[in-house]
């Protein structure tokens, strides 16, 4: 086929889907630019895109609330009956066995844009530890290394990036020698992208030969794990359970034997940790039951009447908040990818930089387009069984989302200090506190020193006396 014929074919294909503007600048493009544009267009499934435009861009199908839903059930953070105590002991032992056998892999999703934090570079490079200023990536790597040593195994680490941050993420890890992990235990792969749309459904161009795209949401991880080769790597390594977390949570307990054990004992395919919400309107997804399946309903979609409903004892009926911590069976990811699987889209109206038909680059002041994303928790109803474990906020959830205020570096860092203080006090170490109860020193415990209060207890003789105003870094 001649170049001209190929172009005409491309043109009529695009015209049939009202996207012919994508080749508006064709005459002025260099051969390389044309090839780049053709490659991107070639990857679009325009029939599906027509459906997305109709269902999500022009109309909004994404916020559909089911007719009937109720609250989901969860295991308590601490066992509350003798039977449960026995089950938690059994689950913890099983979880530890699975860790020893190397059947659990760590998986962080780090492909987001991090717009709210406004940090230059991958969010995982954000310095967060209170004394040593270790980055999020360093803390995770040290935790994985310490866990591997503790259980006499090698836990592989899977990191999902996006085209926005893949290279800098890889470069950081390489330059820092994977923070002590063997290189072959770190597997970095990219998630997919989706085109950005104008409000009328036309795909936007970010320059004359490039489509405007953005990462396809953390839900994209379930495809990317498979397509990016991580699942094959897991198979080869004997990894069966994937411990999923978000890059912005330095308090994450990556390998929690209790969570792993309960998940395995219950035969769950995808499990979640949850928090009891601070109030009815806390901005976290709500764990609900829809047709007997665990389903997350976003805070913005849960009707106020349901959010405000309380039990006679005053507790919220919809009390379980979703915090982006899951365990996923590798075989579940394989099963999803064996068929035509797609998660529902969530639409966000955003300011999207683009090029106008006149060739002018615009950074809009007002929202001008639609970004589509999928969310990982939308896979929960696809699981044959899904378990939820309540957790304690101060132990496991201190996200760095914003530059200042709520869920910022400052609050997260304080939570790291507070947790270290609570662990030290739990083993009988005196921690200076102000009259108002706030910790009056700066504390940081290296993962190599202790991953839990029990680890800390074994090293009690190495903990110095802590005086008000001290900065105490405990490390091996």
Binding site residues, ligand UTP, CB under 6 A: 109-116, 123, 160, 162, 191, 215-218, 220, 246-248, 401
Nearer to ligand UTP, 247 or 442 (CB): 247
What is the rounded CA–CA span in Å between residue 109 and residue 450? 25
Shortest distance, CB of residue 136 to ligand UTP, whole angstroms? Answer: 9
The separation between CA 133 and the C-alpha centre of its own chain, rounded to angstroms, equals 22
Nearer to ligand UTP, 146 or 225 (CB): 225
Shortest distance, CB of residue 17 to ligand UTP, whole angstroms? Answer: 25
Nearer to ligand UTP, 150 or 326 (CB): 326
Shortest distance, CB of residue 176 to ligand UTP, whole angstroms? Answer: 19
Token pair 């086929």 in the structure block, residue: 1
What is the rounded CA–CA span in Å between residue 184 and residue 156? 8
Q: Which two tokens stand for residue 401?
A: 């989302």
Nearer to ligand UTP, 209 or 401 (CB): 401
What is the rounded CA–CA span in Å between residue 132 and residue 475? 11
Shortest distance, CB of residue 245 to ligand UTP, whole angstroms? Answer: 8
Q: Looking at beta carbons, which residue is closest to ligand UTP?
A: 112
Nearer to ligand UTP, 218 or 277 (CB): 218
Nearer to ligand UTP, 57 or 164 (CB): 164
Shortest distance, CB of residue 427 to ligand UTP, whole angstroms? Answer: 32
Nearer to ligand UTP, 363 or 435 (CB): 363
Shortest distance, CB of residue 465 to ligand UTP, whole angstroms? Answer: 38
- Nearest CA among 385, 401, 393 for reference residue 327: 385
Please provide residue 33's backbone torsions phi and psi, each rounded to the nearest 5 degrees.
Answer: -65, -40
Shortest distance, CB of residue 85 to ligand UTP, whole angstroms? Answer: 34
Shortest distance, CB of residue 406 to ligand UTP, whole angstroms? Answer: 13
Nearer to ligand UTP, 191 or 391 (CB): 191
């Amino acid at each position: 086929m001649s170049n001209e014929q190929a172009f005409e074919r491309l043109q009529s294909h695009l015209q049939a889907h009202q996207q012919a503007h994508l080749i508006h600048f064709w005459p002025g493009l260099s051969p390389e630019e044309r090839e780049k544009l053709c490659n991107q267009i070639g990857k679009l499934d325009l029939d599906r895109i027509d459906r997305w435009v109709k269902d999500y861009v022009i109309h909004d199908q994404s916020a559909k609330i089911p007719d009937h839903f109720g609250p989901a059930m969860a295991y308590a953070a601490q066992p509350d009956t003798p039977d449960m105590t026995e089950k938690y002991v059994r689950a913890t032992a099983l979880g530890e066995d699975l860790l020893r056998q190397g059947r659990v892999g760590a998986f962080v999703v780090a492909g987001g844009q991090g717009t709210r934090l406004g940090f230059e570079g991958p969010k995982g490079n954000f310095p967060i530890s209170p004394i040593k200023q270790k980055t999020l990536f360093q803390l995770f790597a040290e935790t994985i290394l310490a866990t591997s040593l503790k259980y006499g195994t090698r836990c592989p680490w899977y990191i999902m990036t996006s085209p926005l941050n893949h290279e800098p993420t890889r470069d950081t890890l390489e330059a820092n020698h994977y923070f002590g992990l063997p290189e072959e235990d770190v597997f970095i792969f990219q998630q997919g992208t989706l085109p950005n749309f104008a409000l009328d459904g036309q795909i936007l161009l970010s320059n004359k030969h490039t489509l405007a795209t953005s990462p396809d949401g953390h839900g994209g991880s379930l495809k990317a794990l498979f397509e990016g080769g991580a699942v094959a790597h897991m198979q080869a390594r004997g990894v069966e359970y994937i411990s999923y977390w978000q890059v912005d949570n330095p308090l994450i307990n990556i390998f929690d034997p209790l969570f792993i054990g309960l998940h395995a004992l219950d035969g769950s395919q995808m499990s979640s940790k949850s928090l009891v919400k601070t109030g009815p309107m806390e901005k976290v997804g709500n764990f609900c039951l829809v047709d007997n399946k665990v389903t997350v309903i976003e805070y913005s979609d849960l009707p106020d009447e349901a959010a405000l409903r309380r039990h006679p004892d005053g507790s919220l009926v919809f009390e379980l908040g979703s915090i982006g911590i899951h365990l996923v069976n590798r075989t579940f990811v394989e099963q999803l990818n064996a068929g035509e699987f797609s998660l529902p889209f969530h639409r966000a109206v955003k300011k999207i930089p683009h090029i106008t038909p006149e060739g002018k680059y615009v950074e809009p002041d007002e929202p001008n387009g639609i970004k589509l994303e999928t969310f990982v928790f939308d896979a929960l109803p696809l699981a044959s069984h899904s378990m939820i474990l309540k957790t304690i906020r101060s132990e496991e959830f201190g996200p760095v989302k914003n530059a200042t205020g709520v869920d910022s570096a400052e609050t997260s860092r304080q939570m790291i200090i507070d947790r270290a203080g609570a662990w030290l006090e739990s083993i009988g170490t005196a921690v200076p506190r102000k009259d108002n109860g706030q910790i009056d020193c700066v504390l940081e415990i290296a993962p190599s020193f202790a991953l839990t209060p029990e680890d800390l207890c074994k090293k009690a003789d190495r903990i110095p006396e802590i005086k008000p105003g001290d900065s105490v870094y405990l490390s091996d």
